[in-house]
């Protein structure tokens, strides 16, 4: 197994991409701390990790709260003594036109998607620096690269921030032998994207099945991501094969955008 006995901290691990990443990392040999704002779903993911004879630990936390971030890192260090891999996945959004977004929308989205990612990265790096080793992987989005089908402009801005901070953080943490990369998913099946799809179907007066067909048709490979497609990239970026890769933001989108 590529990641035998590594320790991975995954935020937003209760469902979707985060859950898939936690399970894939466990399958590759890692012990996993599953963090989610929903404690029950975090526990479900931790139990799934245990099915691979890896240790799964559930923690309930709000990554927009710096005290919560500090707590989960401290508890992970007490439990395992180190953090080898950090997957910053927790994120929020809603379907909205640019003229309908409110200050509350902006603050909520950036609090989790940008602030949460940065301070999780920074706090975990404090533990990785003395050990001179670590892999930090943030889940951005092709929305941050200008994808026109994004849920809203505030979400796109927050994911653009993740792309930018990944590049700069990689330059500043490289001297400590810490790799910092991001994954930019395209259209991906998840509770979040399915909720957005239902809103679009209602707005356009079409069936959900028709909207599902439309979103696949515009993808060159004609295939919407499953969360496991993103998880596979996360495992690679955490693996020895990616030891000399840093500062990169990889699209996993079936060819939907090309930059």
Give me the active site residues, please: 155
Helix (H) or strand (E) holding 12: none
Length of the chain, in residues: 259
Helix (H) or strand (E) holding 251: strand 249-252
**169: Cβ–Cβ under 8 A, 6 or more apart, which residues?**
121, 125, 136, 180
Name the token pair of 7: 């320790």
Q: How far is CA 131 from CA 24, 128, 221, in A?
A: 25, 5, 42
Specify whether the CB–CB gap between 110 and 32 falls below 8 A: no
Specify whether the CB–CB gap between 23 and 12 falls below 8 A: no
Q: Residue 142: which of 208, 80, 203, 187 has the closest Cα?
A: 187
Specify whether the CB–CB gap between 12 and 90 falls below 8 A: yes
Residue 226 CA to residue 119 CA, distance in Å, equals: 28
Residue 245 CA to residue 204 CA, distance in Å, equals: 43
């Amino acid at each position: 197994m590529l990641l035998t006995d590594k320790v991975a901290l995954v935020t937003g691990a209760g469902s979707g991409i985060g859950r898939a990443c936690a399970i894939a990392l466990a399958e590759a040999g890692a012990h996993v701390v599953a963090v989610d704002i929903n404690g029950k779903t975090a526990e479900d993911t931790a139990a799934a990790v245990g099915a691979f004879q890896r240790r799964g630990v559930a923690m309930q936390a709000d990554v927009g709260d710096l005290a919560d971030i500090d707590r989960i890192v401290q508890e992970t260090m007490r439990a395992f003594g180190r953090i080898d891999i950090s997957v910053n996945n927790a994120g929020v959004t809603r379907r909205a036109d640019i003229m309908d977004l409110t200050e509350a929308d902006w603050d909520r989205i950036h609090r989790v998607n940008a602030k949460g990612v940065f301070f999780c990265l920074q706090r975990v790096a404090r533990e990785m620096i003395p050990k001179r080793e670590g892999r930090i992987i943030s889940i951005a989005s092709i929305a941050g690269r200008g994808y026109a089908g994004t849920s809203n402009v505030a979400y796109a801005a927050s994911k653009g921030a993740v792309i930018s901070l990944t590049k700069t953080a990689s330059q500043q943490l490289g001297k400590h032998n810490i790799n910092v990369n991001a994954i930019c998913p395209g259209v991906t099946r998840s509770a979040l994207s399915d909720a957005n799809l239902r809103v679009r179907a209602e707005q356009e007066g079409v069936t959900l099945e028709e909207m599902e067909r439309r979103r696949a048709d515009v993808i060159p490979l004609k295939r919407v991501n499953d969360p496991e497609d993103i998880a596979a990239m996360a495992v690679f970026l955490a693996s020895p094969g990616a030891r000399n890769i840093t500062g990169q933001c990889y699209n996993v989108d079936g060819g939907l955008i090309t930059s």
